Amino acid sequence: SVWDAVSVYIQDHLQLRQGVRIPALGSFDVVTKCVKVRNETIIFPMPVFYLARNLIVSHNLMDNKEYLPGHKELEPLKFPEVAAAASVSWKKVESCIRGTTSLISRSLGKGENIALVLRDVG
């Protein structure tokens, strides 16, 4: 239920074109993509995820140099809001997210392919 509530929180913010940062895991944001179709350029928002720098550095992963957010500040995930939506304590939310982040880090350290799929986010 915690990750379902996180998914809804992220979706709500992305619909408002606001990014969300989950400490030690990464950030969800919306970038503008331009696609040329015939003689017309179509501009549309595209949701993206960027792995946290601490995970990139500690596991010697390739960094996405295309992502340069400039001075855009992303809102950190608000544990109390997620906790209320999931009907659990904010400590439970924090523990769940830290546990998942730790598992992801261990998996990356072993060279395993992993996927964290969030409902209706991807």
**pLDDT of 69 strictly over 90:** no
Our count of domains for the chain comes to: 1
Residues in Cβ contact with 37 at an 8 Å cutoff, skipping those fewer than 6 apart: none
Instruction: Give me Rg for the CA atoms of the chain.
Output: 16
CA angle 119, 11, 55 (to 5 degrees): 75
Q: Which of 4-8, 20-24, 32-36, 99-103 shows the lowest mean pLDDT across its residues?
A: 32-36
End-to-end CA distance of the chain: 16
Residues in Cβ contact with 117 at an 8 Å cutoff, skipping those fewer than 6 apart: none
User: What pTM was estimated for this model as a whole?
Assistant: 0.82
What CATH number did the domain enclosing 10 receive? 4.10.520
- 105 inside domain: yes
- 104 inside domain: yes
The pLDDT assigned to 74 comes to 86
Q: Which domain holds residue 23?
A: 2-110
- 116 inside domain: no
- 115 inside domain: no
- 29 inside domain: yes
pLDDT digits over 18-56, tens only? 999 999 999 999 888 888 888 899 988 888 888 888 888
